[in-house]
Structure 1
Amino acid sequence: MTLRSILRKWTERYFSDEEAVILLIVLVLGFAVVIWLGGMLAPFFTALVIAFLLQGVVNMLTRRRVPNMVAVAIVFLGFVSLMLAMGFLLMPLLWNQLVNLVQETPKMLSNGEDWLMNLHTHYPNLIKPDEIQSWISSTAKQFTVYGQRAVSLSIASLGNVIGLIIYLVLVPILVFFMLKDREKLVNFVLSFMPEKRGLMNRIWNEMDDQIANYVRGKVVEIIIVGGVSYATFTFFGLQYTALLAVLVGFSVLIPFIGAAVATLPVAAVAGFQFGLTEQFAYILIAYGIIQALDGNVLVPILFSEAVNLHPVSIILAVLFFGGIWGVWGVFFAIPLATLLKALITAWPRSLHDTSVQEQP
Structure 2
Amino acid sequence: MLEFFDRWYKRKFSDPDSLMLLMLLVTVSLLLAVWGGILMPVIVAAIIAYLLDWPVVQLIKTGFSRTYASSLVLTLFIAISILIFVVVVPVVSQQSVNLIQETPQIWKEGQQWLLTLPELYPNFVQVDHIQKGLHGLNQKIVEVGEKLISASFSSLADLGALLIYLILVPLMVFFMLKDKQLLIDNIAKFLPNERRLIKQVGSEMNLQIANYIRGKVIEIVIVGAVSAATFAFMDLRYAVLLGVLVGFSVLIPYIGAAVVTIPVAIVALFQWGVTPDFWYLMVAYFIIQALDGNLLVPVLFSEAVSLHPIYIIVAVLFFGGLWGFWGVFFAIPLATLVKAVINAWSPPPTEPSENTEI
User: TM-score range, shorter-chain basis?
Assistant: over 0.9
Please state how far the C-alpha of 1:349 moved relative to its aligned partner. 4.3
* 2:356 corresponding residue in structure 1: none
Contact 1:108–1:272 (8 Å) recurs in 2 = yes
Tell me which stretches of 4 or more aligned residues in structure 1 moved more than 6 Å.
Answer: none
**Corresponding residue pairs, total:** 350
**Partner Cα distance (1:223, 1:251) in 2:** 11
Q: Distance in 2 between matches of 1:144 and 1:86?
A: 33
Structure 2 match to 1:237: 235
Find the counterpart in structure 2 of residue 322 from structure 1: 320
Letter in 1 for 2:147: R
**Distance across 2 between alignment mates of 1:52 and 1:62:** 16
The residue that corresponds to 2:334 in the other structure is 336
Match of 1:58 in 2: 56
Q: Deviations over 1:209-250 (max 9, x none)?
A: 222212211111111110100000001111111211111111
Q: Which residue of 2 aligns with 1:6?
A: 4
Match of residue 173 from structure 1 = 171
Counterparts of 2:9 and 2:119 in 1: how far apart (Å)? Answer: 71
Structure possessing the higher relative contact order (Cα contacts under 8 Å, 6 or more residues apart): 1
Indicate the residue corresponding to 1:298 in structure 2: 296
| Map of 2:206 onto structure 1 | 208
* 1:261 maps to 2:259: yes
Amino acid at match of 1:209: L
| Alpha-carbon contact 1:16-1:350 (below 8 Å) kept | no
Rounded Cα–Cα distance in structure 1 between residues aligned with 2:26 and 2:102: 49
- Taking a change above 3 Å as real, the CA distance of residues 272 and 348 of structure 1, as seen in their structure-2 partners, is closer
Q: TM-score, normalised by structure 1?
A: 0.92
What displacement does 1:289 show?
0.3
What are the superposed Cα offsets for residues 97-156 of structure 1, whole Å, 9 maximum, x if unpaired? 212111111100111123233444333334322233233333332322222112111111
Deviation at 1:31, TM superposition (A): 1.1
Shift of 1:345: 1.0
Q: Distance in 2 between matches of 1:308 and 1:253?
A: 17
Please tell me the root mean square deviation across aligned C-alpha atoms, in Å.
1.9
By how many angstroms is 1:205 displaced? 2.4
Aligned-partner Cα distance in 2 for 1:322–1:301: 26
AA of the residue aligned to 1:311: P
Counterparts of residues 36-51 of structure 1 (less than 5 Å):
36-51=34-49
Match of 1:271 among 261, 269, 291: 269
Q: Does 1:308 align with 2:306?
A: yes
Q: 2 CA distance for matches of 1:340 and 1:113?
A: 46
Distance in 2, Cα, partners of 1:117 & 1:276: 17
| Equivalent runs, 1:118-157 vs 2, <5 Å | 118-157=116-155
> Is the contact between residue 35 and residue 324 of structure 1 (CA under 8 Å) also seen in structure 2?
no
Which amino acid letter does the alignment assign opposite residue 24 of structure 1?
L
Residues in 1 aligned to 2:271 and 2:135: alpha-carbon distance in whole angstroms: 22
Please say which of residues 283-292 and 102-111 is displaced more in the overlay.
102-111
Mapped partners of 1:350, 1:342: distance in 2: 13
Identity %, equivalent residues: 49
Matched residues in 2 for 1:40 and 1:293: separation? 40
Unaligned 5+ segments in structure 2 are 350-358
Question: Is 2:53–2:177's contact at 8 Å kept on the other side of the alignment?
Answer: yes
Q: Which position in structure 2 is the counterpart of 1:358?
A: none
Deviation at 1:50, TM superposition (A): 0.9
| CA deviation vs aligned residue, 1:163-205 (integer Å, no higher than 9, x gap) | 2211222111111111111111111100111344322222222
Q: CA deviation at 1:274?
A: 0.7
- Please say which of residues 49-58 and 80-89 is displaced more in the overlay: 80-89
Q: CA deviation at 1:23?
A: 1.7
Task: Summarize deviations over 1:258-296 as a string: whole Å, max 9, x none.
Answer: 111110110001101111111111110000000011111
Q: Distance in 1 between matches of 2:334 and 2:157?
A: 34
Measured in 2, the distance between the counterparts of 1:126 and 1:279 equals 29
SS in structure 1 of the partner of residue 64 of structure 2: coil
Residue 60 of structure 1 deviates from its aligned partner by: 1.8
TM-score by length of 2: 0.92
